[in-house]
Chains A and B, each alone.
Chain A
């Protein structure tokens, strides 16, 4: 825990010395591995199958041997008839579990993750630190979330961000929501942002809402001039928007209507399996927080990493979560753009999300899993 605190409380976690960062992160990850190995029967069994014990994890390179859990594993566990299955995969006593977060997932099958109070607290802190250091969000700033309020949406995109902002801003009076009762009211959004004075105004929401807002403003000849320090955070998937416009076109529309520069539009990669976010810097590279270990794995052999800038499966290891082993192999393709230092001068690795490895490109005429599930849902 000391190493996690040292990382989280560092005055400049994204700028800290790379060797110090590696050392602290390794200690945090190893500690987390020991905890789950000792306290999670299921994870212990998995480690035994692969013949890995905490003694085998001696340095950063050894992290490759830590057994990873597929996102899909949690989906399948969540579907299991025996509700205790989720508990079986927890690493803390049942009484400590205070909530389950559910993610919808790209295939439409939800996953359920158990959380204890300690893990929730530390995750909120981590996300708040990310927004503080990467997006310059400060106490006293104003945030308009282009989403429904948490009472109307259970998604990680809304719930997770709301909790993180509360941690960061210390109260929620400065947070407003642009979508209420399922209604998107662009006029109201513009009014809300325009009426704020003397505070730095930030926006947060999925790209398709930004796109629709920008279109509305262009059509109705409306214009806003956000502040010099304002950030527009996009998160939650580009698929809907990219069918209509190219990403850069949308950024240009945002510049015209919201008066926000490209360098202040930051895309966030939401990691719903570990309730975390990875944010872009001003050069639009997504920075992995120092307390998290990310590696890009060989698609045929998960115990091997691919080279820098080569595509592979994204794996996240988060030592922040006590309640389940957040050692996840995702179904997402990505690559590392930088290992030690980004062109923005911050330290640590940056990653690029490429696409969901859905097998959609499967050659042939057999229906692929995602399409079959879609067909099943449409009935």
Chain B
């Protein structure tokens, strides 16, 4: 059996734990590994994250260990056996007292910047969505012959879980390059030890700073020495994809979900006094979830004129709900650069409000801005500086939106639509025509289903 390196059991339950090994590497003995620490500190606490110093020898050992796990274990299991184990794992994570989840809830706010309330909400939503959809995955039919999956997930939970689950169900092993400070991915991988040690041996998670001179050797090995039995799943900036494509062997399957942008469309029929409360809350959640760091987070709303509630009133209601959410699921801590960028934009919005160029609805916690709703009369598509800033623009007819969003059609991810059924279909068709991958209702924007990501079709 593969030699799996395990952190001592129960270590994560201790309140005294301040150092966390942010990796999970089957096939490597602890004595073979040299680690360095990086410190994270914010208002939620302080943590030291241990990161291994990688070299090609270590990577080769991990890849060999993953191959053995596949041969000796994964290939011998039926898909339903694998599925049951995954389900059990999701069940564990759905329990807020589960030790790995408790660790995630404690450390994610510090190193990943989510508020504790948002961390809980994100984990709840992620696990609810996976437990809802797991048994709906079609298991019959030929599996794509992929032995190994190399995955580059972003710093939000979900894509890593998705890659691991879809990989295991495809009987592929998973090597996940996490980012420094992402404490969730390694915890999630490690949690398979509680279900089946052998299954845990099919997953590796390790962070490093990508694209740097010092990581050239390992990246050449990881991405360059692949073949058609490998798949690389990239969730990231287009530049990351470019770098990986340059290094990767042309035979390798590259599945790319580079960063995306999402928005909502509200029809006049939904803008009634009766419906506005629910609608505004759904729209606010679509903005605030994951502090707008997700590709499905709404960055703007096109709102149709002619309803009982005007687009400007919608903005006001949206702002009220976002302010409520600031108390219930507060925005997390921003990095230095993100807060600089946010502050510069807020300063500009305040001035433009004073000059009558826009209407600003400020979201605050104490005296600090924690978000904003910007109402502007023009129709130009306007991306957000993120971290809970959303723009509302009026349109005479929602059918104008596909044309208005054509300029970003290449990066459009989700469009949330609030329209009566009889108007929905034709708009949906037009949006799909310009390349929108996901059209859904506004309340479903932040709840993507794993069924929508058929990685190995």
Contact = CB atoms under 8 A, between A and B. Distances in A.
Interface of A: 42, 45-46, 49, 68-73, 75-77, 80-81, 85, 88-89, 299-302, 311-313, 329-331, 333, 355, 357-369, 371-373, 375-376, 378-379
A366 B297 contact: yes
Q: Could you tell me the dominant secondary structure of chain A's interface residues?
A: mixed
Contacts of A85: 355, 357
B21 interface: no
B392 interface: no
B259 A365 contact: yes
Interface stretch (B64-72, B124-132, B224-232, B377-385): B377-385
B206 to A, nearest CB: 18
B455 interface: no
A166 B235 CA distance: 52
Contacts of A302: 343, 347
B352 A376 contact: no
A360 B335 CA distance: 11
A193 B246 CA distance: 41
Contacts of A359: 337-338, 341-342, 385-386
Interface stretch (B46-54, B151-159, B274-282, B308-316): B151-159
A359 B259 CA distance: 14
A327 to B, nearest CB: 11
Contact of A299 (B339, B350, B352): B339
B45 interface: no
Given A366-B297, A372-B411, 15 more contacts: A73-B351, A76-B352, A81-B378, A89-B355, A329-B347, A359-B342, A362-B338, A363-B181, A364-B295, A365-B236, A365-B295, A366-B299, A367-B259, A375-B410, A379-B408
Given A300-B368, A333-B337, A364-B293, A73 B348 contact: yes
29 contacts: A46-B350, A49-B350, A69-B351, A70-B348, A302-B347, A329-B344, A329-B347, A330-B344, A357-B336, A358-B337, A358-B341, A359-B385, A360-B237, A362-B338, A364-B294, A365-B154, A366-B260, A366-B261, A366-B262, A366-B297, A367-B259, A367-B411, A369-B384, A372-B383, A373-B383, A375-B407, A375-B408, A376-B407, A378-B410
Contact of A363 (B155, B368, B378, B381): B155
B354 A46 contact: yes
Task: Select the residue from B343, B381, B411 with max chain A CB neighbours within 10 A.
Answer: B343
A76 B374 CA distance: 13
Contacts of A301: 368
B181 to A, nearest CB: 8
B408 A372 contact: yes
Given A69-B351, A369-B384, A372-B411, A357 B340 contact: yes
A303 B112 CA distance: 27
B19 to A, nearest CB: 22
B2 interface: no
> Considering residues B257, B335, B337, B408, which has the most beta carbons from chain A within 10 angstroms of its beta carbon?
B337
Interface string B150-172: 00001110010000000000000
Find the residue from A70, A71, A89, A363 having the highest chain B CB count within 10 A. A363
A364 B348 contact: no
A120 to B, nearest CB: 24
B410 A73 contact: no
Given A372-B408, A379-B407, A363 B113 contact: yes
Contacts of A313: 340, 343-344
A89 B348 CA distance: 13
A311 B336 CA distance: 9
B242 to A, nearest CB: 12
Contacts of B355: 42, 45, 77, 85, 88-89
A366 B336 CA distance: 18
A119 to B, nearest CB: 21
Interface in B200-252: 235-238
Nearest to A378: B410
A299 B340 contact: yes
Given A299-B343, A362-B293, A371-B259, A45 B384 contact: no
A373 B345 CA distance: 15
A369 B408 contact: no
B292 interface: yes
Contacts of B294: 364-366
Nearest to A88: B355
B441 interface: no
Contact of B381 (A299, A366, A376): A376
Contacts of A76: 348, 352, 357
B302 to A, nearest CB: 16
A70 B343 CA distance: 9
A71 B344 contact: yes
Contacts of A367: 259-261, 295, 383, 411
B86 interface: no
B293 A80 contact: no
A378 B384 CA distance: 18
- Report which residue of B179, B343, B344 has the largest number of chain A beta carbons within 10 angstroms of its beta carbon: B344
A70 B337 contact: no
B326 interface: no
Contacts of A371: 237-238, 259, 411
Contacts of B352: 73, 76-77
A366 B293 contact: yes
B261 A333 contact: no
B163 to A, nearest CB: 13
A80 B347 CA distance: 17
A312 to B, nearest CB: 7
Contacts of A369: 341, 383-386
B407 A361 contact: no
Contacts of A46: 350-351, 354
Nearest to B295: A365
A228 B347 CA distance: 47
A42 B354 contact: yes
A366 B386 contact: yes
Nearest to B351: A73
B351 A331 contact: no
A363 B386 CA distance: 11
Nearest to A71: B344
Choose among A42, A367, A375 the residue with the greatest number of B CB atoms under 10 Å from its CB.
Answer: A367
Contact of B345 (A70, A80, A355, A360): A70
Contacts of A357: 336-338, 340-341, 344
A369 B385 CA distance: 5
B347 A73 contact: yes
B269 interface: no
Contacts of A362: 293, 338, 386
B419 interface: no
